[in-house]
Amino acid sequence: MKPSRLGLLSAVVASSCCVLPLLLVVLGLGSLGLGAVLRRFHWSLIGVALSLLSYAWWVYFKEQRQCHAAHCEMAQGKTTRLALLVASVVVGLFLGVNLYTYASPRSHRLTGVPTTGLTQVVIPVAGMTCLTCELTVESSLKRLNGVEHAEANVADNAVHVSYNPTQVSLEDLVAVINKTGYRATRPK
């Protein structure tokens, strides 16, 4: 396979566990649970993408050395290099976002006194591995009437929710999270 195609394949593989579930969230279909299925392979997909990208660069440089030794012009050399650079940026971006999610999580603490009539709760959620997982859980909760605020946190394995208990119950919150494919449990 040509290095440019290997590079682009690596970008697709690296982004598949994040882009597809995120696209479903944007379309309002995040509760299908696809993100929870893909999360099982999350780091494997990143590893495969890095391997494909490394191999693509190796093939590119090998061809470049051969052409240089034979004093010939590499066929589509600039296009291949551009494709590999774009693929490297995409793979690096997804790797970086995922590492950032763990290394420097967003501030997910609900602060202050809840607005009158609202209850704050931290619901444990197992199975979240990246920013897309957080967004899936948050968006599913925010679609419920009575949920004022929801912020998921991979590092805490939890979602922080501010809600109106006269409009939605804690059991409803847990059930909506579980419909996304992640495993929420009632707080202790």
What digits encode the pLDDT tens for the residues 77-133?
A: 888 889 899 989 988 888 887 777 767 655 545 555 556 789 999 999 998 888 778
User: Is pLDDT of 2 > 80?
Assistant: yes
pTM for this structure? 0.65
144 pLDDT more than 90: yes
- Radius of gyration of the chain from Cα atoms? 22
> Which of 41-45, 48-52, 158-162 holds the top average pLDDT?
158-162
What is the enclosing helix (H) or strand (E) of 185?
none
Tokens read off for 188? 């202790």
pLDDT at 36: 66
Higher pLDDT, 38 or 56: 56
Q: Two tokens at 73?
A: 């012009």
- Choice between 165 and 181, residue whose per-residue pLDDT is larger: 165
Q: What is the pLDDT of residue 145?
A: 94
Cα separation, 89 vs 95, whole angstroms = 10
pLDDT at 45 exceeding the cut of 60: yes
State yes or no: pLDDT of 178 exceeds 70. yes
Burial class (CB in 10 A: 0-12, 13-18, 19+), 134: buried
Judge whether residue 163 has pLDDT over 90: yes
DSSP secondary structure code for residue 146 in this structure? T
> Which class for 27: exposed (0-12), middle (13-18), buried (19 or more C-beta within 10 A)?
exposed
Mean pLDDT for 155-161 is 91
Instruction: Give the lowest-confidence range in 26-40, 74-88, 166-180.
Output: 26-40
